[in-house]
Amino acid sequence: MAQFREITVVFSAPVVPYYDPYDTEIGADPFPVFRRLRDEAPLYYNEQYDFYALSRFDDVERGLKNSRVYASGRGVVLEQIKANMTMPSGTLIFEDPPAHTIHRALLGRLFSAKAMSAVEPKIRKFCADILDPLAAAGGRFDFVADLGVYVPTQSIGMLLGIPEEDQREIRERLTVATHDPGRPQERLTSTDFYSGGLFTDYINWRAGHPSDDLMTQLLFAEYDTADGKRRLTREEVLTAVNMLAIAGNETTTVLIGWTGSLLADHPDQRRQLAADPALIPGAIDEILRYAPPGLQTWRYVARDSEEHGVRIPAGSALGLLLASANRDDRQYGDPERFDIHRKGNRHLTFGFGAHFCLGAALARIEGRVVLEEILKRFPDWYVDAENSKLVRTATFRAWERLPVVTGA
Ligand code: HEM
């Protein structure tokens, strides 16, 4: 009798890459998933949350540039787009032309690289005031809790003209507002949050006491509209100031955290920076490329469009995966390698096109000055891993605590 052997044939469906922006496990190290998206699903569709996503450098850059079809007016966070909200006027990041073009021209004038450089000595002094006592006390410090959370608030506060004694309190109130763990959804979809009254008293006071700060310039700057010259209303100034505080604080804190972490992981490169500070600006851009504070930004698809031969219907949400674009081997040689000497490092961490980050020059100055001042005092450090904490939200991948021990 013939012998039959049982053979089991398993037909396995091709496993499609899956990206869930809310999944904290994926978020802790999203780069393997991003690589698969770029290679296997360059236009990705997520059925569960009903969004599309682009992940290759060229696609993300083109998507950011195409602001007429991929619009910001319904928010730049997935929840905002899904909530169908209307953002308050003057919130640049959520505006489309023509309002965006007018407000951007006005704010762009005030945010020139030259204006930002003027605050550099003050930022340096502020860092020294924090670092000197830490050096005297033995050199253990937390990149985020001791430095990272304060430098951005202080820098924006100095620009705006907020009295020094009030800046810490503002940071604390902003931190509570942006980190309310119970209600992240409400926060992102609350227009009150973006036009909040944290700065009302300062603005009202400054209107009667003009000075040479940004708040005064915002109050008194004139700009052209179709109906002639006008100034921002008090409400619009409040919204603009609040937006600057929100956009410029947490992002830069995250950059400072990753500076501590990546240079602890690459002591050889850290020592080169300590020996030759001229390398520091390039290192800051490599940190920004390698570990962008925001993994992605979102757009509302204003008209039917097509990507990779697939129609994206008007009304869809589209994710532009900045962090994935920054590691695309179609754009960079050996993109997974952290290399402070990288040439032609054009990354998308600050976005691109009409909404390119208004504070990029300021953020780069802050990152550079912080690192210069740290390396002057501490050329070596390692991370106290047991007490450090990496957090992942749908928007950020960041060190919440990064204590380091200095010395070789
Ligand atoms: C490392 C720090 C920072 C990072 C990674 C960052 C990232 C970004 C990105 C990706 C965008 C574009 C968003 C989009 O297209 O949807 C943006 C826009 C913006 N950023 Fe930043 N940012 C940083 C620091 C700052 C600072 C310090 C300020 C101000 C003080 C600032 C103010 C703004 C504003 C006002 C916009 C909106 C510009 C517009 O819509 O025209 N940012 N930022």
Distance 64 CA to ligand 1 centre (A): 13
Query: Pick the residue with more confidence: 334 or 239?
Result: 334
Separation of CA 100 and ligand 1 centre (Å): 14
Among 359, 354, 103, smallest CA distance to 236 is for: 103
| % of residues, the chain, pLDDT over 70 | 88
Q: Is the model's pLDDT at 53 over the cut of 60?
A: yes
Ligand 1 atom nearest the C-alpha of 152 is 27
Confidence of residue 8 (pLDDT cuts 50, 70, 90): low
Fold of 24-406: Cytochrome p450 (1.10.630)
Q: Relative to the CA of 367, which ligand 1 atom is closest? A: 1
Ligand 1 centroid from CA 8, angstroms: 55
The CA 149 to ligand 1 mean position distance, Å, reads 17
Distance CA 180, CA 229 (A): 40
Of ligand 1's listed atoms, the one at least distance from the Cα of 94 is 40
The 3-state DSSP class for residue 41 equals coil
Query: What pLDDT is recorded for position 2?
Result: 47
Q: What three-state secondary structure class fits 367?
A: helix
Question: How many whole angstroms separate alpha carbon 297 and alpha carbon 401?
Answer: 25
Joined tokens for residue 388? 């450090």
User: What pLDDT score was predicted for residue 384?
Assistant: 97
- The answer to whether 246 and 174 are in contact (CB under 8 A) is yes
Ligand 1 centroid to residue 249 C-alpha, Å = 10
CA of 138 to the centre of ligand 1 (A): 36
Q: What is the mean pLDDT of residues 386-401?
A: 90
| Per-residue model confidence (pLDDT) at position 172 | 67
* pLDDT tens-digit map of 67-125: 999 999 999 999 999 998 777 777 899 999 988 998 899 888 888 878 888 889 999 99
Give the per-residue pLDDT at 161.
83
42/321 Cα distance (integer angstroms): 11
Pocket of ligand 1 (CB under 6 A): 72, 76, 92-93, 104, 156, 243-244, 247-248, 251-252, 255, 292-294, 297, 349-351, 355, 357-359, 362-363
At 370 the pLDDT is 98
Q: Do residues 56 and 327 make contact, with C-beta atoms less than 8 angstroms apart?
A: no
Tokens 């930004």 appear where? Answer: 297
359 Cα: distance to centroid of ligand 1 (angstroms): 6
Residue nearest to atom 1 of ligand 1 (CA): 252
Q: Which atom of ligand 1 is nearest to the CA of 322?
A: 10
* Mean pLDDT in residue range 166-172: 68
**Residue 353 Cα: closest atom of ligand 1:** 15
* Per-residue pLDDT tens over the stretch 170-201: 666 666 555 444 444 455 445 445 445 668 88
Beta strands in 108-263 (DSSP E): 140-142, 222-225, 228-231
Residue nearest to atom 24 of ligand 1 (CA): 248
pLDDT tens string 307-352: 999 999 999 999 999 999 999 999 999 999 999 999 999 999 999 9
Per-residue confidence (pLDDT) for residue 38, from 0 to 100: 98
Could you identify the atom of ligand 1 that is nearest to the CA of residue 156? 30
Helix, strand, coil percentages (3-state) for the chain, rounded to 5, are 50, 15, 35
Distance 360 CA to ligand 1 centre (A): 7
What is the Cα–Cα distance from 402 to 260, expressed in whole angstroms?
7
Domain boundaries, the chain: 24-406
Say how many C-beta atoms besides its own lie within 10 A of residue 6's C-beta.
4
- Mutate which of 357, 366, 371 to test ligand 1's pocket (most atoms within 8 Å of Cβ)? 357
